[in-house]
Amino acid sequence: MTIDDAEATFAALADHIIDGLLARDPVTATSLGDHRFDDRLPDLSEDGLSETLHTIDQALSAVDQVDDLALDVSAAVDLEILRARLAAEQFALETLVEHTWNPLVANPGTALHLLLSRDFAPVEERLASLAGRLAGIPEALETSRLLLRDMPRVHVETAVGQFRGTLGMVRAEVDAALVSAPGMRRVVEPVQAEALGALEAHVGWLQDRLESDLATRDPRLGAEKYAATLWSTLDAQVTPDELLHRAETDLVRIEGEIARVAADYLGEPVPPPDDAAVLVRRALDAVAADGHVNNDTVLPMCRSAFEATTAFVRRHDLVTIHDDPVEIVVMPEIHRGVAVAYCDPPGPLETAMLPTFFAISPTPAEWDDGRITSFFREYNAHMLHNLTVHEAMPGHVLQLAHAKRGVKATRVRSAFWSGPFVEGWAVYAEQLMVERGYDAGLGPREALAIHLQQLKMQLRMTINAILDVRVHSRGMTEVEGMRLMQGRGHQEEGEAVGKWRRALLSSTQLSTYYVGYVAVMEIVADLRAAHPTWTDRQVHDAVLSHGSPPPRHLRTLLAI
């Protein structure tokens, strides 16, 4: 068999496997832009999960039969990415078994929101699919209640809030969509009513678990399971011990850097290490006071920041900018209260020409004045520039536009992004901009203010990884975690409280940013060393030219 024949055979196999996985996971299919299964919810019954595992087992057997030596480098990388993804799915279903203890898994909110938030098809077609998913909600929630055993209290508390958000969406957003297509009322309204009843009953059941003190499971994975999850989900060759040691070492380095920038901002000498935290806190307080933001100004400020960052990237020729449509929008209520912004691109398999959403969050309607003030002290005007760099330019918006155009042997890299690469690039972009002197067009003092915020985010990213390891494998307490975040991380109380809950609600996700950043930084440095005459644009375009693969595979693709 020739190389061309081997690659064609593998591409066909990859397509077959991806189709099988997406048929078993219709919500992921919709998010990727494959709309063949838009009227379905995942089958999380015992029989459904057994069928999914059978699909994965068959796919792994088929992948193991592929001769990687008969493939070129690009196809061989896709083979390994596919193998790792299948193994990760298998691990999640057989070992993590979240459907038996995490009530968030069964929330259909994302499945519905994906059909309402983008005009990838006429509203009538999307509402017909929505009706199918609404009709499946009562049975899906009944199945979830049968499978769920002891649950962590923090997961149940969070699920109650998120299911209430889904209730509100099914009422308000579905009604709003029906205004545009009144002819669909007879199809949608009956299943809408049944779904609302099922959701209300499920929220009541979850509240009963809390009131009856039945949610007592420890949310921590434990050392052995955490180590396996770290490898499985991040596809990175790092152990918890290695990750923790490097992150804690880097934390000391970043503390020294932010102290020097804080001293420059305040016009004072750099203090001894024991006194540095007080000086950094004074500088950050001054920056927050100087950068007042409120619910009325946050959206226009982010629009201005997007214009300024885009102009800076063009002027300094840092990387190619593709003129894909970007809409800066108000974040839906159900997603507010965690971060002030996120990037929501169209799925990589989407065929319709759709914009990327750069979503900006006012605070949730129920927050009191004190919580709002704390939130916007953390996300002040200077921080909004750094956040825009991360989420939009030259972070996620730009990187994902490159990924869509990247050279790929199969659909594998389109369907399966690497979180560490995507987040690692965005964090690298923050550092790149301050190193090149980004000042939003306002001069040297603003450059220092933005640099302070970038370093504060570096502290946060590094502490996130420390939290992740120590919470799930070292028994870190809430008091210890809050002291670390508010003390060495200089975080506002509201930010730290939310992050502690996130550390309990997730595992390894908080390490994604740090692991990815370290890997991307090393790749860029090695690529510059291999090509010393290359410009910034040549280096960065090369890094972004292969989609969003795990960093270890990007090295292979770049031949470094």
Query: Which tens digits make up the pLDDT trace of 51-69?
Result: 999 999 999 999 999 999 9
Residue 504 clears pLDDT 70, i.e. is over it: yes
Q: Are 359 and 344 in contact (CB under 8 A)?
A: yes
CA dist 287 to 194, 376, 379, 449, Å? 51, 12, 11, 6
Q: What DSSP assignment string belongs to 221-273?
A: --HHHHHHHHHHHH--S--HHHHHHHHHHHHHHHHHHHHHHHHHHHT-PPPPH
Q: What DSSP assignment string belongs to 140-181?
A: HHHHHHHH--S--HHHHHHHHHHHHHHHHHHHHHHHHHHHH-
3-state class percentages of the chain: helix first, strand second, coil last, to nearest 5: 70, 0, 25
What 3 state SS string does 325-381 have? CEEEEECCHHHCCCCCEEEECCCCCCCCCCCEEEEECCCCCCCCHHHHHHHHHHCCH
Percent of the chain scoring above 90 in pLDDT: 89
The neighbouring-strand residues paired with 329 are: 359
What length does the chain have? 560
Q: How confident is the model at residue 434 (pLDDT cuts 50, 70, 90)?
A: very high
Q: What is the mean pLDDT of residues 227-247?
A: 93
Q: Are 240 and 473 in contact (CB under 8 A)?
A: yes
Count of Cβ atoms closer than 10 Å to residue 204 Cβ: 10
β-pair type (326-330, 356-360):
parallel
Q: Which residues contact 496 (CB under 8 A, 6 or more apart)?
A: 481, 482, 485, 486, 489
Torsion sign across C-alpha atoms 331, 338, 219, 22: positive
Q: Are 377 and 447 in contact (CB under 8 A)?
A: no
What pLDDT, in 10s, does the model give residues 266-300?
999 999 998 999 999 999 999 999 999 999 999 99
Q: How confident is the model at residue 6 (pLDDT cuts 50, 70, 90)?
A: confident
Count of Cβ atoms closer than 10 Å to residue 194 Cβ: 14
What pLDDT, in 10s, does the model give residues 162-204?
999 999 999 999 999 999 999 999 999 999 999 999 999 999 9
Q: How far apart are CA 485 and CA 478, in angstroms?
A: 10
Report CA Rg, the chain.
24
Q: What is the pLDDT of residue 146?
A: 97
Interior/surface letters 96-122, b for 16+ CB within 10 angstroms, e for the rest = beebebbbbbbbbbbbbbbbbbbebee
Q: Are 33 and 350 in contact (CB under 8 A)?
A: yes
What pLDDT, in 10s, does the model give residues 84-137?
999 999 999 999 999 999 999 999 999 999 999 999 999 999 999 999 999 999
Q: How confident is the model at residue 3 (pLDDT cuts 50, 70, 90)?
A: low
Count of Cβ atoms closer than 10 Å to residue 6 Cβ: 18
Q: What is the mean pLDDT of residues 251-270?
A: 97
Q: What is the mean pLDDT of residues 220-226?
A: 96
What pLDDT, in 10s, does the model give residues 320-361?
999 999 999 988 766 665 667 899 999 999 988 899 999 998
Q: What is the pLDDT of residue 81?
A: 97
Q: What is the pLDDT of residue 341?
A: 86
Torsion sign across C-alpha atoms 543, 546, 547, 548: negative
Please choose, from the candidates 334, 331, 329, 356, the residue with its C-alpha nearest in 3D space to the C-alpha of residue 345: 356
Please choose, from the candidates 90, 46, 42, the residue with its C-alpha nearest in 3D space to the C-alpha of residue 64: 90
**Structure-token pair, residue 418:** 């690497």
DSSP code, position 492: -
Q: Which residues contact 548 (CB under 8 A, 6 or more apart)?
A: 399, 400, 403, 406, 413, 417, 418, 421, 422
Average pLDDT, the chain: 95
**Structure-token pair, residue 332:** 């839906």
Q: How confident is the model at residue 547 (pLDDT cuts 50, 70, 90)?
A: very high
Q: What is the pLDDT of residue 1?
A: 60
Q: Are 511 and 543 in contact (CB under 8 A)?
A: no
Q: What is the pLDDT of residue 334?
A: 66
Its pTM surpasses 0.85: yes
Q: How far apart are CA 243 and CA 227, in angstroms?
A: 11
**Structure-token pair, residue 434:** 């301050």
**Structure-token pair, residue 78:** 């896709």
Q: How far apart are CA 376 and CA 381, in angstroms?
A: 9
